[in-house]
């Protein structure tokens, strides 16, 4: 297959002109306009994509009705594509899930997600272009070796309003541990039911605003990449992700597209610090890896510049996604074996070694090259840099055999099961060696991420908790979550009370005043366990 070649058929050509116009509330007057010398650095690629927003003469992004019509037309003519509605948004819009190929056990499952942030349109448009090529185009032969799932627009309400967050203000890409939103629940169910082996999450980053304010320059590169960077991942998993990163980098280089690690900065007026993508365990990129999937974030140069260079931005996403699909198809058995090994390693750690509850990035110095907003010339600047490649543990505990939840914590147990964890119920009273959590101090705080406060998360409870060795009274009806399961790392990050993305901090498990919380760490499984059916 020739890299970068775009298949175009005739039956859907001009489809964007036959359906209703875009409904996205995009205001071109608010877009940052680059100086001519800057704009000249980003010419359109020599390829075309037959998607609604890239039709000639378009002045807005793809509307929801246009997207659904485009996908329905694809499904009607394709023998390899199935479209399901994975859920509905808060405002009632469909969340389509596209399935390409069969769910054969010999084929890795690759999940591509577009537009978790509604104002980051290029990733969503790229998903439509990829769907076309998989449905009846040049990428269809890959489906003999892999299965591809596409969520083209995870946040349709945000896309319609041209806003980052969901309709209720929650950041969808911080809702992968709590599943508070219907959109988060839909994505969680896809992860649980299809267990993808590889995940690519497609975003866009800000070009001007705070970068000009802090560093006097515009963002230069076409694509920012970062694989999962969170604590508790097996070492061999990091190596596997690096191999995929090499494939993406080579494809971008071959297409003449610049790339670097993903990084961001806080709001205008704050410290002039650049930080790699966070190490928190609630972003899609990191939660996917805690689910034992090779996981990547790709971001393109797009937020704030409207439709400028849109074809190039879409092409950048398509190039990165195609590289991942091709790498998976080139070695399907190797991918499946590596992921299976990761699941075995995580399950086998039960009751041994350590679990990192809290961690932090490593501060460094790095030279970043920006673009002068007027002349378009390169502008290298040494910056304070927070690296996610070197994670510093801040709170570590021994890894338990499992966690006990009191019978009163049925909502937490149900949430764990929704995430895909195996939850059992205790059928007879027993005494088990373990540890309880005693509350030392607790205070309400805003949830922090690498850019500052996580807007939409609300106030969380941050506390200090002392573990106390004791004989734990396990009662009939209590819940047990074994750490001898592939999603054990996800269980730990949900149930350790200091975890800012977990159940205690987010009030799903209560903190009694001056007492012990209703969970415990066990050194061995209780003797009388039964499957829990959720009733």
Strand order in the sheet with 424-426: 459-474, 430-446, 516-522, 402-405, 479-482, 424-426, 529-531
Main-chain phi, psi angles of 454, to 5 degrees: -85, 95
Helices (H), 219-331: 235-254, 284-290, 310-330
DSSP class per residue in 457-524: S-EEEEEEEEEEEEEEEE-TT-EEEESSSTTHHHHHHHHSTT-TTSTTTTTSS---TTSEEEEEEESS
Which of 418, 190, 168 lies closest to 284, judged by CA? 190
Cβ neighbours, 10 Å, residue 535: 5
Relative to beta strand 516-522, strand 430-446 is: antiparallel
Strand order in the sheet with 263-264: 263-264, 273-276, 378-398, 354-371
Q: H/E/C letters for each residue in 381-442?
A: EEEEEEEEEEEEEEEEEECCCEEEECHHHHHHHHHHHHCCCCCEEECCCEEEEEEEEEEEEE
Among candidate residues 34, 120, 299, 494, the one labeled active-site is 299
> Which tokens hold the place of 514?
């001056």
> Which residues pair with residue 385 across a beta bridge?
274, 364
Main-chain phi, psi angles of 284, to 5 degrees: -55, -40
Are the C-beta atoms of residues 2 and 46 closer than 8 Å to each other?
Answer: no
Helices (H), 78-181: 121-136, 156-161
Torsion of CA 404, 406, 409, 412, to 10 degrees: 0
> Which tokens hold the place of 294?
């090779």
Main-chain phi, psi angles of 162, to 5 degrees: 55, 45
Are the C-beta atoms of residues 121 and 159 closer than 8 Å to each other?
Answer: yes
Q: Is 225 helix (H, G, I), strand (E, B) or coil?
A: strand
Concerning whether 494 is annotated as a catalytic residue, the answer is no
CA distance 67 to 127: 10
CA distance 293 to 199: 7
CA distance 494 to 502: 4
Are the C-beta atoms of residues 274 and 260 closer than 8 Å to each other?
Answer: no
- Tell me the catalytic residues: 299
């Amino acid at each position: 297959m020739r890299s970068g070649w775009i298949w175009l058929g005739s039956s859907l050509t001009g489809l964007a002109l036959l359906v209703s116009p875009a409904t996205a509330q995009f205001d071109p007057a608010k877009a940052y306009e680059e100086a001519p010398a800057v704009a000249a650095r980003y010419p359109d690629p020599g390829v075309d994509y037959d998607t609604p927003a890239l039709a000639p003469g378009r002045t807005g992004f793809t509307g929801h009705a246009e997207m659904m019509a485009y996908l329905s037309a694809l499904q009607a003519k394709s023998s390899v594509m199935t479209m399901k509605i994975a859920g509905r948004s808060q405002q009632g819009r469909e969340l389509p899930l596209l399935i390409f190929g069969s769910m054969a056990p010999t084929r890795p499952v690759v999940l591509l997600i577009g537009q978790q942030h509604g104002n980051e349109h290029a990733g969503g448009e790229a998903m439509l272009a990829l769907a076309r090529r998989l449905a009846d185009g040049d990428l269809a032969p890959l489906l003999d070796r892999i299965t591809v799932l596409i969520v083209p627009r995870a946040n349709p309400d945000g896309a319609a309003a041209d806003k980052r967050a969901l309709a209720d203000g929650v950041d969808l890409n911080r809702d992968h541990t709590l599943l508070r939103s219907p959109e988060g629940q839909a994505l969680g169910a896809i992860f649980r039911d299809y267990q993808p082996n590889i995940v690519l999450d497609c975003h866009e980053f800000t070009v001007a605003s705070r970068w000009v304010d802090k560093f006097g320059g515009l963002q230069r590169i076409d694509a920012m990449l970062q694989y999962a960077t969170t604590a508790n991942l097996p070492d061999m998993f990091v190596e596997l992700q690096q191999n995929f990163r090499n494939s993406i980098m080579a494809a971008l280089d071959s297409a003449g597209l610049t790339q670097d690690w993903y990084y961001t900065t806080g709001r205008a007026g704050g410290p002039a610090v650049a930080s790699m993508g966070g190490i928190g365990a609630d972003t899609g990129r990191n939660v996917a890896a805690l689910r034992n999937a090779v996981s990547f974030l790709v971001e393109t140069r797009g937020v704030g510049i409207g439709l400028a260079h849109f074809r190039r931005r879409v092409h950048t996403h398509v190039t990165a996604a195609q590289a991942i699909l091709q790498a998976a198809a080139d070695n399907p058995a190797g991918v499946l074996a590596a992921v299976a090994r990761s699941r075995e390693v995580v399950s086998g750690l039960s009751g041994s070694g350590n679990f990192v509850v809290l961690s932090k990035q490593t501060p460094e110095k790095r030279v970043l090259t920006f673009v002068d907003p007027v002349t378009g010339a390169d502008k290298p600047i040494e910056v304070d840099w927070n690296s996610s490649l070197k994670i510093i543990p801040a709170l570590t505990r021994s890894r338990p055999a499992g966690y006990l939840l009191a019978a009163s914590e049925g909502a937490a147990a149900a949430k764990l099961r929704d995430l895909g964890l195996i939850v059992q119920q205790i059928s007879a009273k027993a005494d088990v060696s373990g540890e309880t959590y005693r509350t030392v101090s607790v205070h309400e705080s805003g949830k922090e991420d690498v850019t500052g406060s996580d807007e939409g998360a609300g106030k969380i409870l941050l506390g200090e908790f002392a573990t106390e060795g004791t004989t734990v009274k396990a009662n009939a009806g209590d819940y047990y979550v074994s750490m001898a399961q592939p999603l054990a790392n996800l269980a730990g990050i949900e149930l350790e009370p200091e975890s800012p993305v977990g159940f205690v901090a987010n009030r799903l498990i209560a903190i009694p005043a001056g007492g012990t919380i209703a969970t415990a760490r066990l050194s061995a499984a209780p003797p009388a366990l039964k499957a829990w059916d959720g009733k």
